[in-house]
Copies of this chain bind each other. A is one copy, B any other.
Amino acid sequence: MTTARAPRRTGQPGRPGYDLDSLLAVAVKVFNERGYDGTSMEALAQKLGITKSSIYHHVSGKEELLDLALARALNALFAVTTEAGATSGPYLERLEYLVRRSVEVLVAELPYVTLLLRVRGNTKVERAALARRREFDDFVSMLVVEAAKEGDLRPGIDPALTSRLVFGMVNSLIEWYRPRSGESVRELADAVVELTFDGLRREG
């Protein structure tokens, strides 16, 4: 999946056209810049260089665009929870896998996940997205609980608090990570995993 692409011509020759995917990419960019609440369909049409009715050809309105964008981020994150690395083997390794893959998903779907993480729950679509985020958090907490039961975590770790802190760190990527800023995704994921599981302090 690509997160942004040049508009594809889909309409009559000579008319700028978008397919749903490229329209969504632009909408998400505008939502992230101006805020979802602060973006009107009028402003969106202007940014796209098309009429409002051309947008309504693809979606019923602004909320459907939000719904599609949040679904893309959530589906990518939830897909990880069903991958073999997250569903088999010692729980500590599942957790490590989930953290690493979440970093990769955040980078691959940066604008969509950014939108997701800024959702405040003002609409039904937003509240549904928050509910699914909580489901994801619960999955992470479960992995921490089970890893502790298997004796692989330092004693005294609070699973819910730990999940929040680790994903607080992972999610902070949306604030400062910019593609091609020097680090490869692999190096970034390595750094997050090493910090999370082994900490900064040299052993011994």
Q: A168-B173, A171-B172 are in contact. Are A162 and B198 (CB under 8 A)?
A: no
For chain A, which range describes its interface: under 10, 10 to 19, 20 to 34, or 35 or more residues? 35 or more
Q: Name the B residues within 8 Å of A157 (CB-CB).
A: 191, 194, 200
Q: A199-B198, A200-B154, A201-B152 are in contact. Are A172 and B168 (CB under 8 A)?
A: yes
Q: Is the CB of A161 within 8 A of B191?
A: yes
The reply on A39 being an interface residue by CB < 8 A is no
Q: Is the CB of A165 within 8 A of B201?
A: no
The reply on A13 being an interface residue by CB < 8 A is no
Q: Is the CB of B176 within 8 A of A168?
A: yes
Binary contact track A148-186/B, C-beta < 8 Å → 1, others 0:
000111110110011011111101110110000001000
**Residue of A38, A169, A187 with highest tally of chain B CB at under 10 A:** A169
- Determine the distance from Cα of A144 to Cα of B195 in the docked complex, in whole angstroms: 13
Binary contact track A190-204/B, C-beta < 8 Å → 1, others 0:
011011111111110
- Choose one: B152, B168, B191; the contact of A162 (CB below 8 Å): B191
The reply on A92 being an interface residue by CB < 8 A is yes
Query: In the complex, how many angstroms separate the beta carbon of A174 from the nearest chain B beta carbon?
Result: 9
* CB-based nearest B residue for A164: B176
**Residue of A155, A196, A201 with highest tally of chain B CB at under 10 A:** A201
Q: A35-B35, A169-B169 are in contact. Are A183 and B161 (CB under 8 A)?
A: yes
Q: 7 new A-B pairs (CB below 8 Å) besides A168-B173, A169-B169?
A: A144-B200, A151-B202, A153-B201, A157-B191, A158-B191, A166-B169, A168-B176
